[in-house]
Amino acid sequence: MRSRHPIERFRRIWLWFAAGLVLVATPWRPVAMAETRLEGVIRQNQVWEEEKSPYRLTGTVTIGKGVTVSLPPTIVVRFDKGSCLEVKGSFSADEALFDGLEEMHNRETLLFHPGSRGRLTACVIQNLELQVRTDQAAITRNAISNPNGSGITVGKNSRPTISGNDFHANSYYAVYREGRDVLRVPNNYWGAADGPSGAGPGNGDAVNPPVDFQPFQQEDISEHLVLSDRHLDPTTLGPGSRFSLTYVIDNLNNYDHAVILGASIFSDPDHHIHSSTHDLKVTVKPGRHRFTRSFAVPARAPEGRYDVLWGVMKTDLTAYYVLKKDPGILHIRPEPAVRFTPVAAPGWAPLKSSPY
């Protein structure tokens, strides 16, 4: 029986989301989401906030010695071309998404220096390389996929904990050990039931000879479903109109996920509007896929700015895979303003919508 890691983040059930079957094809129009750009040295302790996510690295970002940076669940960290997050102090993340660029031959990196401390738990680490050169790091229950190189490179004489992870589509090695001393990495899934390739016996992602991969798991260990990008069109409209929501979803498992795409809009904590008849039930196959659904604004909806809540839920409504809120992004007014499509910032390539 496939083992499932419980969804720890979103246990509240909002029962107004119901399954619907309407799919509306609309133009692809990105919405200007708030983002926090980072570059240089972080010299003070920080807890990164969901309201400021996604965090975008535009160069090398260094967490200084003696500095602690923590990421609570649902934080998104995006890496510009060639950018690097260097950890010389302490860095921890739970259920975060670390996303490099998909274009081949890029090398984005998350690097733990000797003497640093690190903990990555139940995260998605994709399109970048994780380098660990410290003993004081624990990499557990993550989904790790890097089509541009190795998933994890472990420095000579370093002995981090690497266990319970799902490795998929790492083009060089899933785990590469520098030097000759043996590194134990038990209880990981290597992308195939017969284990890793390379120094291993199977057809999964490769390991090199110093990696002791026994015992290994024969199936995906955890559920990894990520709302990697989202788009709203239009952002200004009148009562009685409709807008569309586009969900870009990454499924890093080897099996399909059946989900419900729900949404609500809020003018304040006590007043919300649903369009449950337009909720969409879809099957998300492995890879990256785009789904679009509509939302009907009631004819008597009050004028004002609304928060938009996005939900990706299990079909039995017992838990969320993802729950995201974009504050004040939708404007309802009697006469819709002229649409404005923001221009993407130089140097940042939008996420692709085709499967990896």
Task: Dump pLDDT digits (tens) for 240-249.
Answer: 999 999 999 9
Q: In the predicted model, is pLDDT for residue 355 greater than 80?
A: no
Q: Which of 331, 353, 342, 312 is nearest to 30 (CA)?
A: 342
Mean pLDDT (the chain) is: 83
User: How distant, in Å, are the alpha carbons of 126, 131, 286, 292 from that of 149?
Assistant: 11, 12, 20, 32
Give the per-residue pLDDT at 31: 44
Q: What does the pLDDT look like over 165-187, one tens digit per residue? A: 999 999 999 999 999 999 999 99
pLDDT on residue 7: 36
User: Which of the residue ranges 108-112, 318-322, 330-334 has the most confident prediction, judged by mean pLDDT?
Assistant: 108-112
In the block, residue with structure tokens 């995006």: 78
pLDDT score at 15? 27
Q: What is the pLDDT of residues 71-101, one digit of tens each?
A: 998 899 999 999 999 999 999 999 899 999 7
State the average pLDDT over residues 13-33. Answer: 31
pLDDT tier at 335 (50, 70, 90 boundaries)? low
Please give the model's pTM, rounded to 2 decimal places: 0.74
Higher pLDDT, 351 or 59: 59
Q: How far is CA 302 from CA 217, 253, 267, 307, 334, in A?
A: 54, 42, 9, 13, 9
Confidence of residue 322 (pLDDT cuts 50, 70, 90): confident
Percent of the chain having pLDDT more than 90? Answer: 62
Count CB-CB contacts under 10 A for residue 288.
22
Contact 138, 116 (CB under 8 A): no
Q: Residue range 307-329: average pLDDT?
A: 87
Write the pLDDT tens digit of every residue in 198-208: 999 999 999 99
Mean pLDDT value across residues 307-313: 91
Higher-confidence position of 23 and 105? 105
Q: Which pLDDT tens digit goes with each residue over 288-309?
A: 899 999 999 999 888 889 999 9
Mean predicted confidence (pLDDT) in 251-264: 90
Residue 112 pLDDT grade (very low, low, confident, very high; cuts 50, 70, 90): very high
**Annotated domain spans of the chain:** 36-212
Most confident of 25-39, 125-139, 218-232: 125-139
Residue 96: other Cβ atoms inside 10 A: 25
**Mean pLDDT to the nearest integer, 307-326:** 86
Choose between 269 and 348: higher pLDDT: 269
Residue with the bigger pLDDT between 48 and 53: it is 48
Provide the pairing of β-strand 257-268 with 280-284.
Answer: antiparallel
